[in-house]
Amino acid sequence: MGFVIRRQIHREPIVVYDTNTIWQGQTTGRFLAGETVRFRYRQMMALGPGPYAIRTMIASHDGTLLYDWRESVISFEVAGADAMQGIANLGTAIEIEKVR
């Protein structure tokens, strides 16, 4: 189970962030045909201004078979992020140390 955050830049879709349970090392267990599954992501984002869209997908345990894929499940606009440049604020911490 995963999701992708994308943004259009000069009419080209750019992947801002992409993750899934395989890459996170999370085991989902087995599901039977017809079962309903709910999964939630908690995500802290610091994105630059502009429009974004999220797509979701569910695949086999090894990612080789896609069972479901939904484009633009959620679309949103980031406004008022004037104190940064770029697409994403990576949360960099800068440490300064005098070396003697």
Pair of tokens at residue 43 = 């995500």
Pair of tokens at residue 8 = 């259009």
CA 82 to chain centre: 22
DSSP structural state of residue 1: -
As a whole number, mean pLDDT of residues 46-70 equals 85
Count of H-run helices and E-run strands, the chain: 0, 4
Reference 47, options 90, 15, 18, 12; nearest CA is 90
Threshold 0.85, pTM exceeds: no
Which pLDDT band, with edges at 50, 70 and 90, does 99 fall under? very high
Domain boundaries, given as residue ranges, for the chain? 1-27+45-90
Which pLDDT band, with edges at 50, 70 and 90, does 41 fall under? confident
State the pLDDT at residue 75.
Answer: 92
As a whole number, mean pLDDT of residues 13-36 equals 86
What is d(CA 7, CA 16) in angstroms, rounded to the nearest whole number?
7
Residue, of 69 and 83, whose pLDDT is higher: 69
